[in-house]
Amino acid sequence: MAFTSSPPDLSIVKIRFQALSDDLRLNILSLLRSQELCVCDLCEKLDVKQSKLSFHLKILKDAQLVRSRQEGRWIYYSLNLSQFLQLEEYLAEYRRFSSIMPSRVCKE
């Protein structure tokens, strides 16, 4: 595969895909698509306890898919878009260079 930047670390790619494999984490990411949110807002919108949410936010942070910043006693989360772009580039390489893609469309 010919990456436009350096080839990705496959262990990081694996961690990111695992982070994306959970419904609650996907819902968190969906909410963060439009704005930065604090933990309290995420708990309310998702109707989950803070302890459960914190567990899932840690997985997303470890996968570098979200960023956090503290303001006073609240922690605010936002998407780390550069990491999504790296995943997009990783997947695009399969589409661009796949030998299993049909060279033409068969008509029946």
Contact between 59 and 26 (Cβ < 8 Å): no
Q: Rounded to whole angstroms, how far apart are CA atoms 16 and 72?
A: 29
Quote the pLDDT of residue 7: 65
Stated pTM of the model: 0.80
> Measured over all CA atoms, what is the biggest interatomic distance in the chain, rounded to whole angstroms?
64
Quote the pLDDT of residue 71: 93
Quote the pLDDT of residue 34: 94
Quote the pLDDT of residue 108: 57
Structural domains in the chain plus CATH codes:
12-94 (1.10.10.10)
- Positive or negative torsion for Cα 72, 83, 28, 14: negative
Q: Give pLDDT < 50 ranges for the chain.
A: 1-2
Quote the pLDDT of residue 1: 45
